[in-house]
Amino acid sequence: MTDDAYLTLPIDVESATGLARQGLRMSLLDTDDAAAFASWLGAVGRGFQDGRATPEVVEARRVTAGQRRNSGVWDETLLDPATPVATVAGWPSQLSVPGHLSLGAWAVSAVTVSPTHRRRGVAGALIEAELRTAQALGLPVVALTVSEATIYSRWGFAPAAMAADWTIDTSRVTWTGPMVPGRVQFVEADRLVTEGAELVERVRLATPGQMSFDGVLWERLIGRGVGLEEQAKSLRFIRYADEHGVPQGFAVYKVLEETRTTVARAVVELHYLVSATDDAYAALWRFLIELDLVGEIRAPLRSIDEPVYWQVDDARAVVKHDEREHLWIRILDVPAMLTGRRYHTPGHFVLDVSDPLMYAAGRFLLTVQADGTAVVSELEGDIPGDTAAVALTVNELGSIYLGGVSASTLFRAGRIQELTPGAAAVLDRTFHAATTPWLSIWF
Ligand SMILES: CC(C)(COP(=O)(O)OP(=O)(O)OC[C@H]1O[C@@H](n2cnc3c(N)ncnc32)[C@H](O)[C@@H]1OP(=O)(O)O)[C@@H](O)C(=O)NCCC(=O)NCCS
């Protein structure tokens, strides 16, 4: 299959046929058709309760949307038959996994169903089509970020990486972390367009749970792009280079206008901070914490395990809040996923996986070798001696896969069954990821 086969693969027949029985037409969107794209994007915006995009924004989005497989569902009986009643977009991406590795993943976004057509299985038809599409493309996992945590479990998705917002009362803290030899400087956005994108990809592999950025997303994060001109005016960019002058980190922040008063309590909103080294991390956070006239840093969508908590004298001034699931994954191919990451401790495991949709169901023997690589085979018959065996659904497998969710916790919650005593704790030691999984973007 060619690299862009996903763009031309025919629409999923099973879902299209099911929807046709309800008088609905499911098909791929042709992004070369500007009017059709404008209607499709309008439906997405309406689905997420957003305002209408300007013609300039629609056109800019149309150009980038050409790289995605965009589908829609149309109801020809409506007064406005051109606007789809449901939308979805999927595209091949990369998911970082433990061991500085990355696996092909099918990213899904823009899932909307018009309020006029809700709760009659339209979203279900679209999601199941995305699963079959990902499988047809040979991708072992589907990934998404969600608006509500109650929707996607039924299709085998589960939270695999968490995120949290952090607030630091900088008026209370003194930096106690390392003083590092490199240099922080202000730079212009242009420099981040090139150096930053390369750095983001290098850093991505060090943290399980990160999806690859396309250039567009990165440019949007740094305030580039049609419709972001106003926001871009207040963004500041800082770059850390090590003692050899090599760039190792960037941060993008803005000072919230409404908080700029004479009492030196302005609020800094941290849009993004990326660091390839611990030195870069320390230097950028220290710079932000020591900003004059600033009393608070708000850092949304960060890891739930931020070293900065340990780098100031008053840890109570560093508050983590709104911890929540952020990356959801749906495993399709268990052997490909299990052999695609590295593990901590060797051993033999049996994972008895159930999956109502049957993509991942089976009894798998996982053998982790001394170098952290794994071999997986389907197990016929009984559980061999000297193995730690559990029974779990594909959801729980998705949750423990990246190493951020503990099998023991899921066992205690009644979500994983131990087939051999103490198996969950053994799984924890093997699956644990040294760097807490984290996804730093919405997609
Ligand atoms: C969420 C949304 C896509 C669901 O569309 P839908 O066509 O009504 O969903 P379906 O009829 O296919 O529902 C499938 C199942 O999910 C359940 N479900 C759907 N939306 C749900 C929600 N918001 N919360 C809880 N359950 C939900 C349905 O009850 C149904 O359950 P069942 O299979 O047990 O009967 C739609 O309500 C929507 O567009 N919401 C706004 C945009 C949004 O939040 N999109 C999700 C982006 S991550």
Q: How far apart are alpha carbons 345 and 119 in whole angstroms?
A: 46
151 CB less than 6 Å from ligand 1? Answer: yes
CATH of 164-325, one of 3.40.630.30, 3.40.190.290, 3.40.50.1820, 3.30.70.100: 3.40.630.30
Residue linked to tokens 């559980």: 383
365 contacts 377 by C-beta, under 8 angstroms: yes
pLDDT of residue 1: 67
Alpha-helical regions (H) of 4-49: 5-8, 13-20, 34-47
pLDDT of residue 355: 98
Cα distances (Å, whole numbers) of residue 176 to 302, 311, 349 = 21, 5, 43
> Would the annotation count 241 as a binding residue?
no
Those residues whose C-beta lies under 8 Å from the C-beta of residue 166, and which sit 6 or more positions away, are: 297, 298, 299, 302, 306, 308, 318, 319, 320, 321
Give the number of other Cβ atoms within 10 Å of residue 365's Cβ: 18
Enumerate the domain spans of the chain: 5-144, 164-325, 333-431
> Would the annotation count 121 as a binding residue?
yes
Shared fold status for 5-144 and 164-325? yes
442 CB less than 6 Å from ligand 1? Answer: no
Q: How far apart are alpha carbons 410 and 413 in whole angstroms?
A: 5
Q: Mean pLDDT in each 10-residue stretch from start to end of the chain (443 residues)?
A: 88 98 98 98 96 94 94 98 98 97 98 97 98 98 95 98 98 97 96 89 94 83 86 93 97 90 86 96 98 96 98 98 98 98 95 98 97 96 94 98 98 98 97 96 93
Q: Classify 88 in phi/psi space as left (phi over 0), alpha (psi -120 to 50) or beta.
A: beta
pLDDT of residue 260: 77
Atom of ligand 1 nearest to the CA of 144: 48
Q: How far is the CA of 123 from the centre of ligand 1 (A)?
A: 6
Strand partners, 114: none
Torsion angle of the four alpha carbons 74, 77, 83, 85, in this order, in degrees rounded to the nearest 10: -50
β-pairing verdict for 101-113 and 141-144 = parallel
- Kindly name the residue from 37, 152, 250, 364 that is annotated as catalytic: 152
248 contacts 180 by C-beta, under 8 angstroms: no
> Would the annotation count 124 as a binding residue?
yes
Q: CATH number of the domain at 5-144, please? A: 3.40.630.30
User: Which letter, b or e, does each residue of 1-37 get, where b requires 16 or more Cβ atoms within 10 Å of its Cβ?
Assistant: eeeeebbeeeebeebbebbeeeebbbeebebeeeebb
pLDDT of residue 325: 97
Helix, strand or coil, per DSSP, at residue 413: coil
pLDDT of residue 116: 97
Distance of CA 253 to the CA centre of its chain: 21
Determine whether 152 is an active site residue: yes
**CATH class (in words) of the domain with range 333-431:** alpha beta
347 CB less than 6 Å from ligand 1? Answer: no
Q: How far apart are alpha carbons 410 and 399 in whole angstroms?
A: 9
239 contacts 194 by C-beta, under 8 angstroms: no
Q: How far apart are alpha carbons 247 and 243 in whole angstroms?
A: 10
Helix (H) or strand (E) holding 229: helix 229-232
Strands (E), 222-291: 235-241, 247-255, 266-275
Alpha-helical regions (H) of 277-414: 278-289, 334-339, 394-401, 407-412
87 CB less than 6 Å from ligand 1? Answer: no
